Amino acid sequence: EDGQLMTFGADGAVRSWDFEKINMATMSDSSSSRFEVEPINELLVGYNVCLTSVVRTCVPDSFMWFAQDSNGTIWKLDLSFTNTAADPECLFFFHAGVIQGMDVSKKSHLMATTTLDRSVRVFDFVANKEVAISRFNQGGTMVCWAPPLVNQSGGLLVTGFEDGVVRMLELFNPQRLPTPSRGPVMDAELRLNQAFKPHNAPVTAVAYDRNGEILATGSLDCTVFFFTVSEKYSPIGFILVPGPVKALEWSPHFHSENRLLILCQSGHAVEVPCPDPEDHESTKTFQLQNLPRSSFRFKSIKSKIKRKEREEKIKELKKAGITVPEEEEEEEEEEEELPPIFIPKPPSPLCCGFYSQPGQFWLSMLFVSQPTSTFTPPSIETAKQKTEKDSLRREAEQKEAEMLKHLLELQKTFKEIQSDNESLPEHILLKPQVLEPAAEFSCSTTLQHKEGSTETASGQDIAELNKCTQKCHNYLRNIKISPLMTNLDFILG
């Protein structure tokens, strides 16, 4: 516009250039491959801004633009480049990227979220507004509100980060937390209470035990760390598990034992009792080597289920008084082979799990199908040929069915002719040599059909039978019409 070229960059700046000057540029020095030019105007939106998309307002003769920031911001920009131009205005502010962790407070209508954009945010979902935000040097991977048993104000957040650090964040001024009887929080702040680094990989799960005395943290480094809960959290120790930790679940209050269920992304489930802080001395190592554990890995039982279903079906038939021959049972077993037991490598990942009755827990697993051979899609020409062949095959089958139906009708008509011929006086009966060829043909085709022969009667054979039958039928009709006629010599064509 007006001979200017506008550029929007990942450095958060908007610049305008003289397009004619760039278009008419020539290289004064043959050894140089660059042509340098200074921008006409420049606007720096922000130092942590990465502009990825812009659109101009639809208002005529307006210099207002809307820009999208990949860090989660929508900006309103005045690109008139005058002394009276308005400063960049932040219209909306969101998370950038996929939400990695989210948890809802059990005491108020607050929701905490975190992503890899290195921010932790708290929202009031009743007032539909953002309450607080805090930024860090590493991206967040999970967030969890501490239960009221641990923090009565309901403002303590346990957050995990991709560098293995766990931070305890408390919502400042907790007496103003939103409750059903109070208004929403207008201004709040997340303050850091404590930080510790129990892992060397992203933190994926945290969980308080049922008494609020132990905190467990899990990570992709295949470890679970335990801490005592107090004003300042103290480490107890860690255990190694078969795979990266997916989730942690403590047993509920109605269980006699306080146990932790550890779900791994490798498909393993590990159960350990709650560690006693006094039983372990952390002078040499924090690894809890003497902590007992139970590890579970699950295999396919599809073949066992199908076998059991078949046995129950045979029992029901025998109970109903229907005899099932042993040979038939053996044939069925030979025809329907049991599917091979399929154990995926790696095993089916665990999605979630929880305790039910004492000594029991439920797991949700991701289904992994048995791998099959690679399928190469046919070409258009091959698919066309296959369609034509299928069409011709269907037409042939239809014609064959029509011919067989016609043949059966002719056989029925010929039997009626034989019956009518036997009821006539002897001097006007059809001679045996007249009926014999058609009778032989009719019997042979009937036998072929009963024996399931793949060779069917041809169209010429059916035409001959039809011709013979029609002549016999006409002869008998004439006999009935002219009973005084004498014996006629009937000859096949």
Q: In this predicted model, what pLDDT tens digit does every residue of 260-308 receive, in sequence order?
A: 999 998 888 999 999 988 877 666 788 888 889 898 877 656 667 777 7
Q: Is the pLDDT of residue 229 over 80?
A: yes
Please tell me the total number of residues recorded for the chain in this structure: 493
Q: What is the dihedral of CA 460, 466, 472, 475, to 10 degrees?
A: -110
Q: What is the pLDDT of residue 387?
A: 83
User: 159-173: per-residue pLDDT in tens?
Assistant: 999 999 999 999 876
Alpha-carbon separation of residue 414 from 410, 424, 430 (angstroms): 6, 16, 13
Check whether 217 has a pLDDT greater than 60: yes
Using left for φ > 0, alpha for ψ between -120 and 50, and beta otherwise, residue 457 falls in: beta
Q: What is the C-alpha to C-alpha distance for residues 436 and 374, in angstroms, rounded to an integer?
A: 61
Q: Among 91-95, 109-113, 219-223, which stretch is predicted with the lowest mean pLDDT? A: 91-95
Contact 166, 216 (CB under 8 A): no
pLDDT for the residue 183: 38
CB atoms within 10 A of CB 170: 18
Rounded Cα gap, residues 122 and 176, in angstroms = 14
Tokens standing for residue 338: 């049991």
Q: How confident is the model at residue 58 (pLDDT cuts 50, 70, 90)?
A: confident
pLDDT confidence of 424, banded at 50, 70, 90?
A: confident
What CA–CA distance (Å, rounded) separates 184 from 177? 7
Q: What is 99-296's CATH number?
A: 2.130.10.10
Dihedral Cα 241, 244, 246, 252, nearest 10 deg: 10
Instruction: Report how far apart, in Å, the C-alpha atoms of 30 and of each of 20, 22, 34, 318 are.
Output: 22, 17, 10, 99
Structure tokens belonging to residue 87: 């400063």
| Start-end of H helices in 229-321 | 302-319
Residue 188 region, left (φ>0) first, then alpha (ψ -120 to 50), else beta?
beta
Task: Say how far apart CA 309 and CA 312 lie, in whole Å.
Answer: 5
By the 10 Å C-beta count (0-12 exposed, 13-18 middle, 19+ buried), 202 is classed as buried
User: In the structure encoding, which two tokens stand for residue 215, read together?
Assistant: 């905190």
For tokens 């008509």, name the residue. 413
Distance CA 106, CA 127 (A): 17
Residue listed under structure tokens 């902590």: 291
Residue written as token pair 């059991």: 308
Spatial CB neighbours of 7, under 8 Å, sequence gap ≥ 6: 14, 15, 16, 17
Closest by alpha carbon to 248, among 280, 215, 221, 290? 215
Enter the DSSP assignment of 325: -
pTM: 0.58
As a whole number of angstroms, the distance between CA 111 and CA 34 comes to 53
Q: Summarize pLDDT for 446-472 with one digit per residue, the tens.
A: 434 444 443 445 556 666 666 666 666
Q: Encoding tokens for residue 348?
A: 């089916």
- Let me know: does 136 contact 121? Beta carbons within 8 Å: no
Q: Which has the higher per-residue pLDDT, 493 or 237?
A: 237
Average pLDDT, the chain: 78
Q: Please report the pLDDT score of residue 456 as a whole number.
A: 46
Lowest mean pLDDT among 93-102, 306-315, 376-385, 431-440: 431-440
Q: How far apart are CA 57 and CA 484, in angstroms?
A: 109
pLDDT, tens digit (0-9, with 9 covering 90-100), for 129-160: 888 889 899 999 999 999 989 988 888 999 99
Using CA atoms, how far residue 161 sits from 118, 238, 336, in Å, is: 9, 18, 53
Other Cβ atoms within 10 Å of 38 Cβ, number: 9
d(CA 217, CA 170): 18
- Alpha-carbon distance of 333 to 420, in angstroms, equals 54
Note the pLDDT of residue 279. Answer: 77
Helix, strand, coil shares of the chain as percentages rounded to 5? 25, 30, 45
Query: Which spans in 191-325 are helix H?
Result: 302-319
pLDDT tens per residue, range 322-336: 665 565 455 455 445
Q: How many CB atoms are closer than 10 A to CB 148?
A: 14
What's the pLDDT score for residue 493? 36
- Given a contact cutoff of 8 angstroms between Cβ atoms, the answer to whether 289 and 272 are in contact is no
